[in-house]
Structure 1
Amino acid sequence: MTEAVVVDDSHFMRTVISDILEDAGVEVVAQAGDGEAGVEAVADHDPDVVTMDVEMPRMNGIEAVEQIMATNPTPVVMLSAHTGEGAEATFEALEKGAVDFLAKPGGEVSTEISAHGDALVETVRSATRADLDSVAEVDDADDTDAIETDHGYVDDPTLVVGASTGGPRVVERVLASLPLAADLRVLVVQHMPEGFTGRFAERLDRHSEYDVREAEDGTRIGGGEALVAKGDYHMEVAGYGNGRLRVKLQQDEQQHGVRPAIDVTMETAAEAIDDSLVGVVLTGMGSDGAAGIEAIDAAGGATLAQDEESSSVFGIPARAIETGCVDRVHSADEMGKAILDAINTEN
């Protein structure tokens, strides 16, 4: 049986979260009311997974994650308030080694979380399958320089990147390595709720040479610009011409249980774009992106997937590779160069 430690400074939230997990067959072996007690509980019980609040007294969730990863590495799922401050803190926790996160509906102390029990259980179970060594090995984007090459690039290339669990750090790493000279139009689909994708776009913008922003309905981009799919909206490529593409946001049914879905963006990109196109699938749980990779391959585009060794969760890349439509498989650190090789004029 999966064993969990629940850390939250609200007794109410600890009880609700524990009840949800217990009802789903996850044994909660300990609860803790702050980060310091949480670190001690992990050391004492050696659980399979930890749910961690962000804002707590004595030691907050970010500090607790850092301590756990240094002393007793364990998959940690952050439970964050659905606010800008909560989003930024969550990304900091991911940088420290947390595997995934879930937004608390309604804020820090929420009576609504019971309605999201299935998502909590699924996220917790997914986290138990994470490879913590791969999480630790992803270099910080702050330390990443854009790659210098001695070759030219094809005209008007477009890059579509899809990721889920463990993806934010890898996406940051990849975008930070891409030089502005490549003149890419970049579309990023990271499985992430509304309210977090805007802050994620800001982080990507800070860490890369590209102008990155959250997508809005009708947004147009050209070379040197990137869009992050907005949480709770599918992002379609609705038009392309003269090196500029236009996106449409829509809220059709979820695909693979998610919205935004990687497949929606990749499939519409393959249909609309007649210039060079590269599709990349990175770490994550599930099969979203496999159909998109097939579509890009069928359209004559280049397709890349992250390898198992560097993936936190080798689900999305594995399913794409199984289609037989992935051209090359690379580690997270090699992916930037692989993208540039795909748009090399000498190929």
Structure 2
Amino acid sequence: MTRAVVVDDSHFMRTVISDILESDGIEVVAQADDGETGVAAVADHEPDVVTMDVEMPRMNGIEAVEEIMATNPTPVLMLSAHTDEGAEATFEALEKGAVDFLAKPGGEVSTEISAHRDALVEKVRSAARADPETFGEVDTTDDAIETDHAYIENPTLVVGASTGGPRVVERVLSDLPRNADFRVLVVQHMPDGFTARFADRLDRRSEYDVSEAEDGMRIGGGEAVVAKGGYHLEVAGYGNGRLRLRLQQEAQRHGVRPAIDVTMETAAEKVTGPLTAVVLTGMGKDGAAGVEAISSVGGATLAQNEETCSVFGIPARAIETGCVDRVLSVEEMGKAILSTIRKSE
């Protein structure tokens, strides 16, 4: 049985979250009303997973995550207010080692959380499967990749990730030199309200111009977009080295929207230039069909290895298709992506 510690300064929220989890067979072994007490509860009970509020007295959720990762590495699911401030704090917690997050639908204290019980239970179970050995902060300062090579013109890169993905996506993009001139499409399973902030962070930490995708926009070399939460991102057209994008809200695939498969399949259909697909850490099978589609048109396909994945679901399902060219660690991924477009000496 999955064992959880629930940390939230609201007695109401602790009770509602605990009741939801226990009604679905997840044992809540302790509750805590601030980060300091939560850290102690993790040490005492050694749970499989922790749900962690962000804003709390004495020790907030970010500080608590950092302390847990340093003393008793345990998967932490952040419960975040659906605000700009909540989004920024959530990304800070992910940097410190939290594996995933769920946006509280109504803010800090919400009676609506019970209406999202399925999402909460799914996120908790997914987080509980995460490997604590992968939780160390991702180093984005590695300058070992050589950047003075010549590359094939007009390459497109599609990156898909879910649980544990934000830090890994950041590392991958930060490893890509601007002169590689990719058009980059990032599909990270993430709700609306967070994808714009994620794009801002990627923009600051990579050499690429990164923004949240908009319907009808066109992107060229050196530009990247993050799929907007709540929308599938399609490649609607390709010409003169530029991608034309479309956002749509058709049915979810694999229970998510945006779905990696939608972006990869439409890229395989529309892009005639060099095309590379990368699938990273996450739960589920989204991306497997997309990898097959890109492989079928001669594109390169790469997957993150199990040792560096928080959750080895998405890459594993893609590998099972037999269409993945190479399986690599996070540290190797940037160099491998560049090798797919390097001109022969």
Normalising TM by the smaller chain, what interval?
A: over 0.9
Q: TM-score normalised to the size of structure 1?
A: 0.98
Which blocks of at least 5 consecutive residues in structure 2 are unaligned?
Answer: none
Paired residues of 1:146 and 1:178 also in contact (CA < 8 A)? no
Q: How is 1:1-347 mapped onto 2 (pairs within 5 angstroms)?
A: 1-136=1-136, 139-141=138-140, 143-145=141-143, 147-346=145-344
Describe the SS at the equivalent of 2:317. Answer: helix
Cα distance in 1 between the residues matched to 2:342 and 2:206: 20
Describe the SS at the equivalent of 2:330. Answer: coil
Paired residues of 2:186 and 2:224 also in contact (CA < 8 A)? yes
Letter in 2 for 1:117: R
Describe the SS at the equivalent of 2:91. Answer: helix
Cα distance in 2 between the residues matched to 1:156 and 1:308: 31
Instruction: After TM superposition, give the deviation of residue 66 of structure 1 in Å.
Output: 0.6
Cα distance in 2 between the residues matched to 1:110 and 1:122: 19
Instruction: After TM superposition, give the deviation of residue 169 of structure 1 in Å.
Output: 0.3
Cα distance in 1 between the residues matched to 2:241 and 2:295: 20
Instruction: After TM superposition, give the deviation of residue 217 of structure 1 in Å.
Output: 0.6
Letter in 2 for 1:270: A
Give deviations 1:43-88, integer Å, cap 9, x for gaps.
Answer: 1111111000000000000000011111111110000000111111
Q: Percent of aligned pairs with the same residue?
A: 79
Cα distance in 1 between the residues matched to 2:105 and 2:273: 41
Instruction: After TM superposition, give the deviation of residue 132 of structure 1 in Å.
Output: 1.2
Question: Number of matched residues?
Answer: 345
Cα distance in 1 between the residues matched to 2:143 and 2:106: 39
Give deviations 1:81-107, integer Å, cap 9, x for gaps.
Answer: 001111111111011111111000010
Instruction: After TM superposition, give the deviation of residue 135 of structure 1 in Å.
Output: 2.2
Instruction: After TM superposition, give the deviation of residue 225 of structure 1 in Å.
Output: 0.2
Describe the SS at the equivalent of 1:201. Answer: helix
Cα distance in 1 between the residues matched to 2:60 and 2:214: 34
Q: TM-score normalised to the size of structure 2?
A: 0.98
Paired residues of 1:151 and 1:346 also in contact (CA < 8 A)? no
